[in-house]
Amino acid sequence: MSSFIREKFTQHMELHGLAKETQRGYISGVRCLARHYNQTPETLTNEQVRAYFRHLLLERKLKWGSCKTYLSGITYFYRHICNREVDDRFGLPPRPRGRKLPSVLSMEEVQTLFSCVDNLKHRVLLKTIYSAGLRVGEVIRLKPEHIESDPSRMVIRVEQGKGRKDRYTLLSAQLLEELREYWRTYSPGPWLFPGQNPHTHITSTAVWSVMAEAKKKLA
């Protein structure tokens, strides 16, 4: 992908308010397509793109969800940057049926899971996800001012959540005490849960790694 096309792509996504993480995913999907053919993506035919998705599914054996992520970025690129419309999702079939429901942890298992996390910051982050019903992408973008601890309010303000909508979720008294202990220990800056660079928030990849490590200990 040329620097000009990438810049045009990025500017369009920024103008329409796509999250930075979504932008990176979309760019990555289009870049992988271009590398597969060693050709600039805007010159590829629809049939070439369909063949690419057959390659991902049948040869690389990627899961349907991964292919769907690629499809989102590639479709966005052709629709908005190349003014091309594709009605058949580049041949990607519908999600396979028969998916198993995710296992649900009991209260005892949840408490045990938390106890497996020694790092206070990581433990409070996971408790915030569980107690407030937040998505990973929402919890990593929390700021201290989003915690509204006035007894008449007791809510967490979630900005630009799913669908880029703002919303409120309940703040329990127990979680508030956990957050206060965390605040006294870490005194975070602009982000409630900063990354290695205190001026940026923790990444979703880091959060998933914390969860995976805790589940290993739980097992």
> Residues 181-218: pLDDT tens digits?
999 999 999 999 999 888 899 998 899 888 888 888 77
Q: Which fold has domain 107-218?
A: hpI Integrase; Chain A (1.10.443)
Domain boundaries, the chain: 3-91, 107-218
Cβ contacts of 172 within 8 Å, gap of 6 or more: 131, 132, 154
pLDDT of amino acid 18: 85
Would you tell me how many other CB atoms lie within 10 Å of the CB of residue 203? 14
Do the domains at 3-91 and 107-218 have one common CATH topology? no
pLDDT of amino acid 175: 94
Model confidence pLDDT, tens digit, residues 97-123:
755 555 566 677 778 888 889 999 999
Pick the CATH number of 3-91 from 1.10.150.130, 3.20.20.370, 1.10.150.120, 1.20.120.550: 1.10.150.130
The mean pLDDT value for 45-68 works out to 92
Angle at which helices 120-132 and 204-218 cross, to 10°: 90
d(CA 188, CA 198): 8
Among 65, 56, 72, CA closest to 24: 72
